[in-house]
Amino acid sequence: MLIDFDQPINRINSNSIKWDAMEKLYGVSPKDGLAMWVADMDFKAPEAVNLCIKNMSEHGIHGYFGDDSGYKTALRSWMSKKHNWEIEDSWSAETHGLGAAIGISLRAYSEPGDEVIIFSPVYHSFARIIKANNRKVKEAKLQIENGIYKFDLDNLGKSLSGNEKIMLFCSPHNPGGRIWKKNELEDLVTFCEAHNLVLLCDEIHADLTYPNFKHNTLLAAVPSAKNRAVVMVSTTKPFNLSGGEMGSVIIPDPDLRNKFDLAHEATGKMPNRIGMKMAEAAYLYGEEWLFQLVNYLEKNKFCFEQGIKSIKGFESMPLQSTYLAWINFEKTGLSPTEFYRLLFKEAKIAANIGSSFGSGGEMYVRINFACRKAIVEDAIERLQNTFS
């Protein structure tokens, strides 16, 4: 069945942070503005997911969730089929999203005051969660080589204080959509071994890779990292289920797993019934939907990148995954303040401010094109009219 991603769906007044908080956050009204910020898509979830919620509603009892074996089987076969990674059911635990999984991991593997390495610019909540847990953010600024991000471990090695306990890594990278190569992952693991760091690998965007690219899941690419790695995966980004706040941590090492479990217990550790059921249905029946989604997104990406090229001073980082365009506006000569005034007030586009992703993000904007193609075209026209 062909999925109609061009179907207009009104999200205003649907408790959508993307549409219902944009005016408060960016001063852009949803009435005449475009919501192109948070990583949330304007598409309906796969039919099988919606059917599963319908069945739950018909049953009508929404008590505590028990028996995660169906979900674990679905996760195991997805990892095997899509990522060539054979996992065991006992390795994984389910959390209320990956933001929560990061917080639990920080408490499991470090103490207040310890430092946590992140490669900036990176998903803004990494720094927020680290600071909220009274740990210190250590930014390792990414370099740009041939237009895409690279990490610089030599420089990072020289700058270590000795208080670093964890490396929190984003793979594929958000923003910029970089898929890390096997040899890069090997270098990273060698670095973590040399400095005795736990490697938290956030792979939430792993299933949103474009047809010519293949995500390398950490422990299939570098099995020797299994004694220091915590891999985090989720259905919420690829299948647009973010409000279901659900994700999995996969930890092959028993000692690391035990530490995680203790910190997890300290948060109450109960699965979210709706998130669990949605995720299970997505892994079991969502493959074809995802295939069609990625093809649709690829066309949006092409249209958006072509449009961006037509605007003097704009440069879009070539995306290997994700629907989050990462655009450098430095060559427009505009200051960030002036750029964002024009973006919000004139173009009326709500998009993520680059500096919120940390060092290196100051002259960028992140624009989410996971919406109808007609909206992507409208956005390009607005950008051309405002900035050309």
Task: Work out whether 94 is an interface residue with ligand PLP (CB under 6 A).
Answer: no
Query: Binder to ligand PLP among 170, 222, 229, 278 (CB under 6 A)?
Result: 170
Applying CB under 6 A, the site for ligand PLP has a residue count of: 13
Task: Work out whether 97 is an interface residue with ligand PLP (CB under 6 A).
Answer: yes
What's the min distance (Å) between Cβ of 279 and ligand PLP? 11
Nearer to ligand PLP, 104 or 375 (CB): 104
Give 12's contacts (C-beta < 8 A, 6+ positions apart).
19, 20, 30, 31
Task: Write the binding mask 213 to 242 for ligand PLP: x where contact by CB under 6 A, - elsewhere.
Answer: ---------------------x-x-----x
What's the min distance (Å) between Cβ of 345 and ligand PLP? 26
Taking the C-alpha atoms of residue 290 and residue 140, their distance in angstroms, rounded to an integer, is 33
Query: Binder to ligand PLP among 139, 202, 207, 280 (CB under 6 A)?
Result: 202
Token pair for 28: 């852009």
Residue 148 burial (CB < 10 Å; 0-12/13-18/19+)? middle
Query: Binder to ligand PLP among 98, 278, 282, 365 (CB under 6 A)?
Result: 98
Neighbours of 312 (CB within 10 A): 10
Q: What are the start-end ranges of the H helices in 5-141? A: 17-20, 22-26, 47-59, 69-83, 98-109, 125-132
What's the min distance (Å) between Cβ of 367 and ligand PLP? 14
What's the min distance (Å) between Cβ of 204 and ligand PLP? 4
Q: What are the start-end ranges of the H helices in 215-253? A: 218-221
What's the min distance (Å) between Cβ of 141 and ligand PLP? 18
Beta strands in the chain (DSSP E): 34-35, 92-95, 115-120, 136-141, 143-145, 148-150, 164-170, 198-202, 229-233, 247-250, 315-316, 324-328, 349-350, 352-353, 364-368
Task: Work out whether 315 is an interface residue with ligand PLP (CB under 6 A).
Answer: no
Parallel, antiparallel, or unpaired for β 352-353 and 229-233? unpaired
Q: Tell me the Cα Rg of the chain.
A: 21
Nearer to ligand PLP, 96 or 348 (CB): 96
Task: Work out whether 39 is an interface residue with ligand PLP (CB under 6 A).
Answer: yes
Task: Work out whether 174 is an interface residue with ligand PLP (CB under 6 A).
Answer: yes
Q: Which residue is nearest to ligand PLP (CB)?
A: 97
- What residues line the site for ligand PLP (CB under 6 A)? 39, 97-99, 123, 170, 174, 202, 204, 234, 236, 242, 247
